[in-house]
Amino acid sequence: MAGNYSRDAGLDLADEDGHEASPLSEEEQRRMALQNLLDAWDDSLGEGVDADILATTAIFAALSDMVEAYGEEAVAEMANGLADRVRQGEFTLNRTLN
């Protein structure tokens, strides 16, 4: 990415959108993002937001952001594969394997 340089070089760490580059690995960023979302989820439930409303709002927020970044067609193609992934248990947290 243009503008994504190391601190040691003394250059700008921002990407082309002006976001600060992260020193964290992608896996560390995913873990941190998930923990932050789960914390916010718990806070919202504690404030009385219904779980179904929270879930549909989170899906809307995620898809809206992805459409802005990648476009409607790319997100629609990704969403087409979600049904099979759900059926295969990819999103089931407490599943029992037989």
Question: Could you tell me the residue ranges of all domains in the chain?
Answer: 24-87
pLDDT in tens, 42-52: 999 999 999 99
Average pLDDT in the chain: 83
pLDDT in tens, 10-39: 334 455 666 666 789 999 999 999 999 999
Dig out the tokens for 9 from the structure: 């070089």
Average pLDDT over residues 57-62: 96
Q: Which pLDDT belongs to residue 47?
A: 98
SS3 20: strand
Dig out the tokens for 39 from the structure: 């914390």
Residue 21 · residue 4 · CB < 8 Å: yes
User: Buried b vs exposed e over 60-70: b needs ≥16 C-beta within 10 Å?
Assistant: eeeeeeeeeee
Q: Which pLDDT belongs to residue 19?
A: 66
Q: How far is CA 44 from CA 49, 50, 54, 56, 67, in A?
A: 6, 8, 8, 13, 25
Q: Which pLDDT belongs to residue 11?
A: 37
Dig out the tokens for 79 from the structure: 């969403």
